[in-house]
Chains A and B, each alone.
Chain A
Amino acid sequence: MSAGITTLKNAGAAGILCEVADVIVANKAYLSELDGKIGDGDHGFNMAKGFGRAKERIDGASETLDSAMRTLSDILMSEIGGSMGPLYGMMFSDMADALDGAAEIDAAAFGRMIRAGLEGVQAIGSARVGDKTLLDTLVPAVETYEAALADGDGWSQALVRMKAAAEAGRDSTLDMVAKMGRSSRLGERSRGVLDAGATSCCLILAAFADGIGRRITR
């Protein structure tokens, strides 16, 4: 079904991560506002700081995506801290390892990349789906993307389905009671607010889907 380009050159694909960073920086206040309702309100600031710094150090026009993700991971783990530092730090580090300097990225390689990212998050954290965390976005997004490829969807279509699953996953956290992190101590009072981590994870995945989608359909 897929028309047009089915692979991307890894060199220069760092530009996609720069777009992800722009989206996070643009949503700084929104993420902190969400976090402030049931957490301590620092999610947006810390995320924007980490992703913003990464963008300054990445050459989007020539660097590879894995090199850019390694830079981002190092910044999150050594300069940001909090909960999101190690969680997203592990996610991007394992995503970078999955690409490992490949010359080109295709639908299958991207699938391996996000699967590795999911496993990285699961290795450091102890949350499960339904706990009102970023996993509520990441798990259905990865599974839906893999199912799309198994269904024979082209890359663009698989990315569209992944993004929709990420959004549905993010929205599913609205009616959840938090089981992890600071908001878990609120019990029922955590219901009715989107989880900030699930929301930032959705922004990241959607920006990947949009950034790759634009590059392979033009």
Chain B
Amino acid sequence: MQRFINNPDDIVDETVRGFVRAHSDRVRLDPGNARVVVAREAPVRGKVGIVTGGGSGHEPAFIGYTGRAMVDAVAVGELFSSPTAKSFHDAIRAADGGAGVAVLYGNYAGDNMNVKMAARMAARQGITVATVVANDDVCSAPLTEREKRRGVAGEIFMWKIGGAKAAAGASLDEVIATAQRAIDNCRSVGVGLGPCTLPAAGKPNFEIKAGTMEVGIGHHGEPGTRVEPLTSATAVADDMVALVLADHALPAGTEVAVLVSGLGATPVNELYVLYDRMADRIEAAGLKIHRGLVGNYFTSLEMVGATLTVMALDAELKALLDAPTDVPGLS
């Protein structure tokens, strides 16, 4: 294992400390909980607070999206493991400006339980909490069981749009409805070419045989739905676009936002190779790309691979996506 680590048990605390030092113009550490990262100006009086959280190892997610007009506070978990209920609760408190708090998070068993307990604790203190659970990963369950799907990179669009709506002065109900619409309009798919290693384990979490790829892989190496011989970038891009668009069934002329994220160890130039072909296929389907994002936006340690997210836009979602923000992860 060729990695920059000290004691594996310290890696999350060290990550968070380094992150807060590097971006101290925009974020700070919660004074009472070293696993909660808070936007500099949060809480904003009268504004709906935006909270998220999840396991570490996905940087720049989740902490990288903390800042003005996006996420107010983030609960940080161990590598690939849900934050504690206490950390979600502390994040909710840190984000609360008196207008309620929207917790916008991904559909994982641990996060569901810890957010539920945190919301219960917050309610006892008179903080109104509402949630949106992201489920944009098309390969993790059939469309008819969308509530079982995992949340992946579409969460970035959900936070951007929910955060912009809250910054515009919307009520908690309005923020929740808009964030829900954003994630409902997202479809994502991942393809894995190589596994990742939790430093404490010291060996890969799962196996991807040389010369093969795993289509539909999850953000923690949850195995995909198909294992196939690795083909050309063009063929992989076509497959990913086909999976996403088949699930989406968007009418021609729809404007979309496209996000291609590396999973950690794929060179960024290869992401552009994928994007070039994906954009062709998306346009050939009659869709109009309003905005494309390419880079390491939501990773999985040093997994080799990429995810594609396509979000259908309407006038409001487009305006909220384009609204200014200032977070370390989007620049």
> How many angstroms between the C-alpha atoms of A185 and B151 in the bound complex?
13
Selected contact of A83 from candidates B79, B113, B206, CB within 8 Å: B113
Instruction: Give the contacts of A182-214 with B (CB-CB under 8 A).
Output: 182, 184-186, 189
- Given the known inter-chain contacts A81-B78, A83-B82, A86-B113, please indicate yes or no for A40 contacting B150, CB distance below 8 A: no
Asked whether A36 and B205 contact (CB < 8 A) given A87-B113, A182-B222, the answer is yes
Is B307 an interface residue when CB atoms closer than 8 A count as contact? Answer: no
Cβ of A53 to closest chain B Cβ, rounded Å: 11
Residue in A32, A36, A82, A87 whose CB lies within 8 Å of B77? A82
Residues of A within 8 Å of B117, CB to CB, are: 77, 86, 124
In the complex, whether A112 has a CB less than 8 A from a CB of chain B is: no
Chain B contacts with A in 113-130, Cβ cutoff 8 A: 113-114, 116-117
Candidate in B84, B87, B220 with the most chain A CB atoms within 10 angstroms: B84
Does residue A41 face the partner (Cβ distance < 8 Å to B)? yes
What is the distance, in angstroms, from B37's C-beta to the closest C-beta of chain A?
15
Cβ 8 A contact of A185, one of B82, B110, B222 = B222
Whether A78 contacts B86 in the complex (CB less than 8 A), given A49-B9, A85-B110, comes out as yes
Q: A42-B81, A77-B84 are in contact. Are A182 and B114 (CB under 8 A)?
A: no
| A36 x B84 contact (CB < 8 A) | no
Per the bound structure, the CA–CA distance linking A42 and B196 in Å amounts to: 13
Minimum CB–CB distance from A121 to chain B (whole Å) comes to 11
C-alpha gap A89/B82 in the complex (Å): 14
**Distance in Å from the Cβ of A64 to the closest Cβ of chain B?**
24
Q: How far is the CB of A19 from chain B (nearest CB, A)?
A: 23
Q: Of A40, A42, A46, A87, which is in contact with the most chain B CB atoms at under 10 Å from its CB?
A: A40
Q: A81 and B114 in contact (CB under 8 A), knowing A42-B78, A86-B85, A184-B148? A: yes
Contact of B84 among A40, A85, A124 (CB under 8 A): A85
A106 within 8 Å of B (CB atoms)? no
Residues in B whose Cβ lies below 8 Å from that of A189: 223
Known: A125-B113, A181-B109, A182-B222. A82 touches B82 (CB 8 A): yes
> Which residue in chain A gives the minimum CB-CB distance to B218?
A185
For B272, the chain A residues whose CB sits under 8 A away are: none
> B109 near A186 (CB under 8 angstroms)?
no
* Contact of A79 with B by CB under 8 A: yes
* Residues of B with C-beta under 8 A to A82: 55, 77-78, 81-82, 110
- Interface majority SS (helix, strand, loop, mixed), chain A: helix
| Interface of chain A residues 29 through 60 with chain B (CB within 8 A) | 32, 36, 40-42, 45-46, 49
Q: Which residue of chain A lies nearest to B149 when distances are taken between CB atoms in the complex? A: A185
Contacting pair A185 B140 (CB below 8 A) = yes
Contact with B along A51-93 (1 / 0, CB 8 A): 0000000000000000000000000011111111111010000
The verdict on A42 contacting B140 (CB below 8 Å), with A78-B86, A180-B109 known, is no
Most B CB atoms within 10 A — which of A85, A87, A125? Answer: A85
Chain B residues near A40: list those with CB within 8 A.
80-81, 198, 205, 220-222
Question: For residue B141, which residue of chain A has the nearest CB?
Answer: A185
Partner of A186, one of B78, B87, B150, B223: B223
Chain B residue at minimum C-beta to C-beta distance from A89? B85
B305 within 8 Å of A (CB atoms): no
Docked CA distance A181–B116 (Å): 16
Q: Which residues 90-112 of A sit at the B interface, judged by CB distance below 8 A?
A: none
Are the C-beta atoms of A41 and B110 separated by less than 8 Å?
Answer: no
A81 touches B82 (CB 8 A): yes
Chain A residues within an 8 Å CB radius of B192:
none
Give the residues in chain A near B77, CB-CB below 8 Å: 81-82
Hey, which chain B residues are within 8 Å of A125, CB to CB? 109, 113
- What CA separation (Å) do A79 and B117 show in the bound complex? 14
Collect the chain B residues with CB atoms within 8 Å of residue A84's CB. 110
Looking across the interface, which residue of chain A has its beta carbon closest to that of B140?
Answer: A185
Residues of chain B lying within 8 A (CB to CB) of residue A184: 148
> Are A41 and B205 in touch, CB under 8 angstroms?
yes
Give CA–CA (A180, B110) in the complex, Å: 11
Q: What are 11 of the A-B contact pairs (CB < 8 Å)?
A: A40-B81, A42-B81, A42-B200, A45-B198, A77-B86, A81-B82, A86-B110, A86-B114, A124-B116, A124-B117, A185-B148
Given A41-B201, A182-B109, 19 new contacts (CB under 8 A): A36-B205, A40-B80, A42-B80, A42-B198, A45-B198, A45-B200, A77-B117, A81-B87, A82-B77, A82-B82, A83-B110, A85-B82, A86-B113, A86-B117, A125-B113, A184-B148, A185-B140, A185-B150, A185-B218
Q: Which residues of A contact B (CB under 8 A)?
A: 32, 36, 40-42, 45-46, 49, 77-87, 89, 124-125, 180-182, 184-186, 189
